[in-house]
Amino acid sequence: MANERVTEDMVDAAMRALGYYDDEDAIVVEKQQSVVKAIREALSKASKTGKGRAGYPEFIVTSPDTPDIVVLVECKADTAKHESANRDKPVDFAVDGVLHYARFLSPRYTVIAIAVSGTRSSNLWSFFLMPKGETQPKVLVAPSGAEVDSLIPMDDLIRAASFDPMVHQRRERDLILFSQQMHEFMRNEAEMSEQEKPLAVAGTLIALSNDVFARTYDAYPARDLPDFWMRTIKDEVSKAKIPVSKVNNMTQPFTAIEVQPELSKSTHAYPKGLLSEIVRLLADRVLPFMTVYHDYDVVGRFYGEFLKYSGGDGKLGIVLTPKHVAELFALIANVNKNSVVVDPCAGTGSFLISAMMQMTKTATTEAEITSIKKDRLIGIEQRPSMYALAVSNMILRGDGKANLYQGSCFDTPNINAVKKHKDSSGRILRPNVGLINPPYAKSKADLSELRFVDNMLDMLEKGGTGVAIVPVSCATAASVEKQTILNKHTLEAVMSMPPELFTPVGAIACIMVFTAGVPHNVANKKSWFGYWREDGFVKIKNLGRVDRHHTWPGIRDRWISSWRNREVHPGESVTATVTAKDEWVAEAFMETDYSNLSQRDLERVLLDHALFVLKGSQPAETADDD
Amino acid sequence: MAYAGNDLGKVGELTVALSGNGVLSTFVQPEEFVTGFHVMILSPKDAAMSTVEKLWWARCIWENRYRFSYGRQANRTLASLEVPATLPDWVHTLKVPTHEGLARAAGASVTLTDPTGTGWADFRLDALFDVKKGKRFTKASRVPGDTPFVGASEKNNGITDYCDLDPLHPAGVMTVVYNGNSVGYAFYQPEPFVASDDVNVLYPKVPMNRWVQLFVASIIKHQRSRFTYGYKWTLARMKRTVIRLPVATGGEPDWDFMERYVQGLQFSAALRPEMTVHELVNADVEKSAS
């Protein structure tokens, strides 16, 4: 009879060859039992016979950097025992067994379940993913879209699991909930203002990126930690090699946090002080997400969470770009490793980060990735605290040298700095992509949204692509700014966005796409208008708008492909020749889709009218207002 | 009648609201029900009491609303409320309208032709209608009266209020909401009315009867999805909006088809001007009796 040990040894050898045993701190491979208490507890009633005793998978692999993912391996000696027809015989079959164990762990972990059977000469491998909170397995798929069919390095396994949209979403949800807890904590315990909270988070994350701080903060007494915290931030920012004047600009807002009296107080509940507690919470809950969840705009996410409660910022014209719109921008502009991207109203830097993600996807060498991060992302931000957040965001995302300027995007020195931006070797790299979400509804007439757009377009090299999200009124109302822009640049496209996009702020927006430096009448072509009103997101209490039904990737791809190919579909998109006098929106040109007009529509109108007539057109009984 | 306690309500019992804005609102419940805290249930002592009689008593209770307010709720005093000692004879001759009676069509059913096919054509709204803007009247400037006030509503034919202003528009035209969540809702107005500035009024350039205008109203409503708070259906935009209508052989709108089509739909009999509710109900009773 075949021996299961042979199979286990084969798996062990495969892991060894792929470096699973190289760094004990990075990857923990355990057999049958785990030292992680939560895993042990979850498996303690997981026996395959279903009798409530403990279960022992052959391998349990974890990575402390990714505490929410567990890899389980179950072996069977004979390939005939690989998988049963209904996957319901966990005692006898490898696939059945590993999925059985996975279900015990999936309430708390995202599980990668691997079933192996056979010997060196003949064997079968199956890879499954059970996202946290799910009970049904999915086939594990690499980011490239290919099914995983042989053992791959741990990093790649984790990447494949992280790539899964459901895992992605679950993490996003966890992080939002955590940021809400953080908000409550900072408000109730530390009496911090809405502006200070994201700074405290950003500063702490920067400090935690310093190894010494991460290991020793716990040892500092309450009154000494703020000073250590501040010094670490300054060190880290200096390491980022931004000019000295900028280091001061950048770190100044954090000093306001440093001197918060509540933070350095030692209380009964928090003997080490509140700052220490904040650091601990972020170290436990957020840091792991950043190391793995690579496309995450953490600072922006937190900032958005805090903005929601402050309420006032909407009126100040600060409209935070939703993450999926930032992603859309990078795709509309079709950025790649050769792009040089500028955002003159950088805010928390979310456009730059999503552009960076998109650009690195097209890079093939380490040097290209370095060039993207160091030389190809440029931003300007006026408000000092926001500037500090943007720089933090870039530093945390691995941008060694943040090309972020503090000041007004209308100031000549800043404009020149962008136009004459040089890479590390001194070569001029003028931006060829501009992304902007300008401040809305500034009361000063000369600061209309379109002036920001015009200013951004002027920074780009000829033929560059500018993308802007602005209130619909900018597109529909006749304005001098529209004419000014068309005199110099070509209107390529306008997309009408979902009305609730900026919930809870009530701005209705559209995205405009321009080609810089080519006057509209010289280009002499039709513009493309998209009716992008349904992004599939739904409003959920406490979470805002979320892609609950996982429809966004499909909708996004359809939008982007129809834009890139200038496709025209009734009810969705249309092309038209426009001037500054016209309305630049799909609604004005689009053909109504009558194919869905049915008898029910007419019956509805008739019923309403008949009921009204039957009721009699007399003053209502009561003066109820509804 | 007696207070029936707070358990499951039975078919045919009356509910009376005891507090709030709707104090003394009284209804005959057609199905089993549960109620909230501030609702009393009345159960007829005479088990054979007809629905029409119950509705009469409900109406009597309703007439006492003026006695109550937030400060004085109806809880304790309801049992002592006085209602007429006897009910008039004519109550016994009334009949409750039925769904079947009301839902009848005025004409034979007609099949809708394919709106994307060649039997339909595009027309600019301002080729068919004179489009006029409503006028702004603040709530404070309006005194209650009999003139329908059409505002930005999708309910009750767009009528949000009745006021004492002189009507500014005649009967027989359409209103279209251009502002707010109800943008695009179009209504045929059978009475002279006042339109608010959230509404545009469509005057037919050629004679169009109620049936035809109801058909056009539903086509106009079909445009709803393209307008939002950010992109309102302003007068200028409405004038140049293109709608699609069935056409006759000459390429003109086929008004006759639209009229016959709408007359073939449910509830159209209720719109025949010569019919009263009671005639409708009685016609139904006669029909089902025969």
Q: List, in order, residues 6 or more apart from A466 with CB less than 8 Å away.
A: A433, A434, A435, A436, A453, A456, A457, A460, A489, A513, A514, A515, A516
Contact A199, A229 (CB under 8 A): no
Q: What is the pLDDT of residues A567-609, one digit of tens each?
A: 998 888 999 999 999 999 988 888 888 888 888 888 888 888 8
Q: CB atoms < 10 A from the CB of A51, how many?
A: 7
* DSSP tag of A268: S
Closest by Cβ to A605, choosing from B97, B120, B218 = B218
Cβ of B267 within 8 Å of Cβ of A606? The answer is yes
Q: Does position A316 have pLDDT exceeding 70, yes or no?
A: no
Angle, helices A274-285 vs A225-239, to 10°: value is 50
**Rg (Cα) of chain A, in Å, rounded?**
28
Q: Is A490 exposed, middle or buried (0-12, 13-18, 19+ CB in 10 A)?
A: buried
Rounded distance between C-alpha atoms, residue A411 and residue A418, angstroms: 11
Record the tokens describing residue A293, joined without a space: 């969840």
Partners of A622 on chain B (C-beta within 8 Å) are 21-22
CA dihedral of B44, B45, B49, B52, whole degrees rounded to 10: -30
Q: Give the pLDDT confidence score for residue B286 in this predicted structure.
A: 44
Partners of B22 on chain A (C-beta within 8 Å) are 622, 624
Cβ of B230 within 8 Å of Cβ of A622? The answer is no
Q: Does position A314 have pLDDT exceeding 50, yes or no?
A: no
Task: Please give, rounded to a whole number of angstroms, the shortest distance from the CA of B267 to a CA of chain A.
Answer: 6
Nearest CA in chain B to A602: B218
Rounded distance between C-alpha atoms, residue B171 and residue B224, angstroms: 24
B184: left (phi over 0), alpha (psi -120 to 50) or beta: left
Contact A328, A468 (CB under 8 A): no
**Which pLDDT band holds residue A330 (cuts at 50, 70, 90)?**
very high
Rounded distance between C-alpha atoms, residue B133 and residue A240, angstroms: 61
Q: How much of chain A exceeds pLDDT 90, in percent?
A: 40
Cβ of A476 within 8 Å of Cβ of B190? The answer is no
Q: Which amino acid is at A394?
A: M
Cβ of B244 within 8 Å of Cβ of A594? The answer is yes
Rounded distance between C-alpha atoms, residue A352 and residue A146, angstroms: 29
Please state the φ and ψ torsions of residue A9, each to the nearest 5 degrees: -65, -35
Q: How far is CA A14 from CA A10, A18, A21, A598, in A?
A: 6, 6, 11, 62
**Which pLDDT band holds residue A546 (cuts at 50, 70, 90)?**
confident
**Which pLDDT band holds residue A187 (cuts at 50, 70, 90)?**
confident
Q: To which H or E segment does residue B201 belong?
A: strand B199-204
Q: Give the pLDDT confidence score for residue A11 in this predicted structure.
A: 92
**Which pLDDT band holds residue A313 (cuts at 50, 70, 90)?**
very low
- The arithmetic mean of pLDDT across residues A485-507, rounded, is 90
Q: Which stretches of chain A sit within 8 Å of chain B by CB? A: 471-473, 476, 496, 499, 506, 508-509, 531, 533, 585-588, 590, 592, 594-595, 597-599, 601-615, 617-620, 622, 624
Task: Please give, rounded to a whole number of angstroms, the shortest distance from the CA of A616 to a CA of chain B.
Answer: 10
Residue (of A445, A446, A497, A441) closest to A468 by Cα position: A497
Rounded distance between C-alpha atoms, residue A355 and residue B290, angstroms: 77
Residue (of B152, B179, B216) closest to A597 by Cα position: B216
Rounded distance between C-alpha atoms, residue B63 and residue A257, angstroms: 65
Rounded distance between C-alpha atoms, residue B76 and residue B62, angstroms: 16
* DSSP-assigned beta bridge partners for residue A514: A466, A491
Mutate to test the interface with B, among A602, A604, A625, A626 (most CBs of B within 10 A): A602
Task: Please give, rounded to a whole number of angstroms, the shortest distance from the CA of A578 to a CA of chain B.
Answer: 16
Partners of A604 on chain B (C-beta within 8 Å) are 218
Query: Does B148 sit behind a cis peptide bond, omega within 30 degrees of 0 on the bond before it?
Result: no
Q: How far is CA B280 from CA A618, B109, B148, B190, in A?
A: 20, 19, 25, 19
Q: Does position A374 have pLDDT exceeding 90, yes or no?
A: no
Residue (of A38, A32, A27) closest to A62 by Cα position: A27
Flag the least confident range among A249-258, A397-406, A459-468, B210-219: A397-406
**Which pLDDT band holds residue A243 (cuts at 50, 70, 90)?**
low
Cβ of B266 within 8 Å of Cβ of A602? The answer is no
Partners of B223 on chain A (C-beta within 8 Å) are 592
Nearest CA in chain B to A531: B226
Q: Which amino acid is at A258?
A: E
Angle, CA of A227, A232 and A236, to the nearest 5°: 155
Partners of A607 on chain B (C-beta within 8 Å) are 266-267
Q: What is the pLDDT of residues A111-125, one digit of tens each?
A: 999 999 998 889 999
- The arithmetic mean of pLDDT across residues A2-11, rounded, is 87
Q: How far apart are the first and last CA of chain A?
A: 78
Q: What is the pLDDT of residues B215-261, one digit of tens each?
A: 999 999 998 888 887 888 999 999 999 999 999 988 999 999 999 99
Q: Give the pLDDT confidence score for residue B277 in this predicted structure.
A: 59
Q: How far apart are the first and last CA of chain B?
A: 38
Residue (of A82, A85, A104) closest to A4 by Cα position: A82
Q: Does position A387 have pLDDT exceeding 70, yes or no?
A: yes
**Which pLDDT band holds residue A401 (cuts at 50, 70, 90)?**
low
Contact B282, B95 (CB under 8 A): yes
Rounded distance between C-alpha atoms, residue A486 and residue A502, angstroms: 28
Tokens 């059985």 correspond to what residue? A100
Cβ of B226 within 8 Å of Cβ of A590? The answer is yes
Cβ of B215 within 8 Å of Cβ of A473? The answer is no
Instruction: Count CA atoms within 13 Å of residue A209 on its CB side.
Output: 23
Q: Which amino acid is at A424?
A: S
Q: Which amino acid is at A497?
A: M
